[in-house]
């Protein structure tokens, strides 16, 4: 176990403080408001000092996005583990709830991941792996519900597409279809919610989200719950 020098510890701490300040700015006024000069002012140093810690504004943003993907994956996986002994439907409910709660707790971070792409950002491989982790957490309980094939061409594409990257993957086409479908449905509700599109409509988005989860569960179980 390598002990960090004092200098290394201080450097890491400064980096984390800068990232936290950056997220506060983004939470207040969106990604375009991110300003290295303003972060420097908040930390009690000059803006250009931050170029000692990050190659530039793009690298800072890239790290924030990467952190977000990992954090979301961790939260969803933790919910899956906490519900490991439950029935598949309850596990899906727990997983979907964790997804939405993570987004509602930090909408600005959710929109960094899944909102309008920020120019200059490149997704490194480990970010893609974290995104895959989030989605994969749903596949086990969906498979346990035993979904039927509903769209053979599409399901074939999912199987082949994933096989290109992971030839030993255990998931059937219908499971993959419902995994991705579940993601698009969660995202559809959550993104419109955090963006404020529902505020004038007079309904509780949580109820709509739950209705969508129940619809997905019913579809995966092969029938429509009456």
Partner DNA sequence: AACCTGAGTTAGAGCTTCTAACTAACACAA
Partner DNA sequence: TTGTGTTAGTTAGAAGCTCTAACTCAGGTT
Phi, psi at 121, each rounded to 5°: -90, 135
CB contact burial 184-193 (16+ within 10 A = b; e otherwise): ebbeebbbeb
From residue 31 to residue 70, what is the string marking binding to DNA with x (rule CB under 7 A)? ---xxxxx-x----xxxxx-xxx--xxx------------
- Cα 46 to Cα 6, 38, 135, 143: the distances in Å are 22, 9, 41, 54
**By CB under 8 A, is residue 188 in contact with a copy of itself?**
yes
Contact 213, 96 (CB under 8 A): yes
> What are 69's two structure tokens?
């993907």
Q: Which of 30, 43, 58, 66 binds a copy of itself (CB under 8 A)?
A: 30
- Cα 133 to Cα 13, 87, 96, 127, 200: the distances in Å are 28, 21, 14, 10, 35
- Cβ 64 to DNA shortest distance, Å: 13
**By CB under 7 A, is residue 17 in contact with DNA?**
no
**By CB under 7 A, is residue 115 in contact with DNA?**
no
Task: List the single partner that 144 binds among DNA, a copy of itself, none, CB under 5 to 8 Å by kind.
Answer: none
Identity of the residue, 14 or 198, whose beta carbon is nearer to a copy of itself in the bound complex: 198
List of residues contacting a copy of itself (CB under 8 A): 29-33, 111, 114-119, 128, 131, 150-151, 153-154, 157-158, 160-162, 164-165, 177, 180-181, 183-189, 191-192, 195-197, 200-204, 207-208, 211-212, 215, 219, 223-224
């Amino acid at each position: 176990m390598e002990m960090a020098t004092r200098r290394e510890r201080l450097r890491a701490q400064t980096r984390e403080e800068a990232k936290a300040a950056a997220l506060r700015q983004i939470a207040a006024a969106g990604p375009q408001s991110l300003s290295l000069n303003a972060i420097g002012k908040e930390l009690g140093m000059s803006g250009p000092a931050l170029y000692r810690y990050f190659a530039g504004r793009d690298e800072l943003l890239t790290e924030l996005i990467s952190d977000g993907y990992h954090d979301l994956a961790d939260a969803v996986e933790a919910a899956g583990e906490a519900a490991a002994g439950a029935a598949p439907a309850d596990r899906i409910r727990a997983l979907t709830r964790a997804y939405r709660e993570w987004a509602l707790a930090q909408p600005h971070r959710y929109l960094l991941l899944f909102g309008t792409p920020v120019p200059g950002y490149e997704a490194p491989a480990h970010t893609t792996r974290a995104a895959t982790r989030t989605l994969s957490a749903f596949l086990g309980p969906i498979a346990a519900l035993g979904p039927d094939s509903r769209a053979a061409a599409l399901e074939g594409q999912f199987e082949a597409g994933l096989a290109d990257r992971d030839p030993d993957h255990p998931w059937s086409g219908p499971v993959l279809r419902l995994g991705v479908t579940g993601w698009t449905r969660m995202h559809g509700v959550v993104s419109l919610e955090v963006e404020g599109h529902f505020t004038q409509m007079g309904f509780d988005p949580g109820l709509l989200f739950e209705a969508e989860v129940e619809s997905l569960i019913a579809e995966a179980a092969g029938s429509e719950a009456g």
